[in-house]
Amino acid sequence: MSAGPLDTDFYARSVHEVARDLIGCTLAVNGAAGVIVETEAYDAGDPACHAYVGRTPRNEVLFGPPGRAYVYLSYGIHSLLNAVAEPEGQAAAVLIRALEPTEGIELMRERRGVGEISQLCSGPGKLTQALGVGLDLNGAELTAEPFEIVPPAEAWDRLEVVTSTRIGITKAAELPWRYCASGNRFVSRPWPRVRSRAA
């Protein structure tokens, strides 16, 4: 694939394609980097998408041009990082849920306060802390500093990506819009919890 970073056209496609193709890409920011191993897609007609209720000051970045970062505060504690997708006017985004750490490991350890590598970026709230990504980056372009997102060295075709239901939401939770690098041990959870007893 191309050697350079991803450009805006990459993001101006179906959010599901973008979510799938981000798997295997390397995300670098603020002196640390990792390979994206888990994402989730949220599209405009999706009740779980923040844009579903219409345009508000909080979610306006979702309605803007693709290739920007949508960062918001979750549970009053965690910053969650999304990549805005689809052409401008189509409010959709990909939640980055987990990374396999590759560079700046020590810096991530300091920011996270934990030593175990598998605990540095194995969750949407964890990876933003490890990368030093906060609300100040909401609306920033993912195609420019301080972000750099580059495609995998190997062709996308050679990466095995599995899909499953999304995690941590109550609305439209049954939609299979979670994408994971198959067999990767740095995902937030190997597989969604299966309900052991039927209601």
Partner DNA sequence: GCCAGGATCGTCT
Partner DNA sequence: GACGATCCTGGCG
* 139 binds DNA, rule: CB under 7 A: no
167 binds DNA (CB under 7 A): yes
Nearer to DNA, 21 or 126 (CB): 126
| 163 near DNA, judged by CB under 7 A | no
CA proximity to 51, closest of 5, 89, 101, 97: 89
Give, as ranges, the residues between 61 and 100 that touch DNA (CB under 7 A). 70, 73-78, 80, 82, 93, 95
Cite the DSSP H helix spans in the chain.
8-11, 15-22, 60-63, 105-112, 124-131
Please report how close the Cβ of residue 158 comes to DNA at its closest, in angstroms: 28
Phi/psi of residue 105, nearest 5 degrees: -60, -45
Closest C-alpha among 47, 44, 42, 15 to residue 170:
47
Q: Which two tokens stand for residue 89?
A: 């006017």
Task: Return the half-sphere exposure (C-beta side, CA atoms, 13 A cut-off) of residue 128.
Answer: 23
Q: Which stretch binds DNA (CB under 7 A): 27-35, 102-110, 143-151, 162-170?
A: 162-170
Q: How many residues bind DNA, per CB under 7 A? A: 36
**What is residue 117's DSSP assignment?**
G
Question: What tokens were used for 164?
Answer: 């499953």
Site for DNA (CB under 7 A): which residue of 29, 123, 140, 181? 123
Interface with DNA, residue 53, by CB under 7 A: yes
The reply on whether position 188 binds DNA by CB under 7 A is yes
- Residue 1 makes contact with DNA by CB under 7 A: no
Q: Using the rule CB under 7 A, is 16 a contact of DNA?
A: no
> Quick one: 74 or 182, whose CB is closer to DNA?
74
Q: Parallel, antiparallel, or unpaired: how do β-strands 32-42 and 148-150 relate?
A: unpaired
> What tokens does 146 get?
């301080």
> Whose Cβ is closer to DNA: residue 53's or residue 155's?
53
> Six-digit token pair at 81?
């990082």
Q: Interface with DNA by CB under 7 A: which residues?
A: 40, 42, 48-50, 53, 56-59, 70, 73-78, 80, 82, 93, 95, 112, 114, 119, 123-126, 166-171, 188, 193
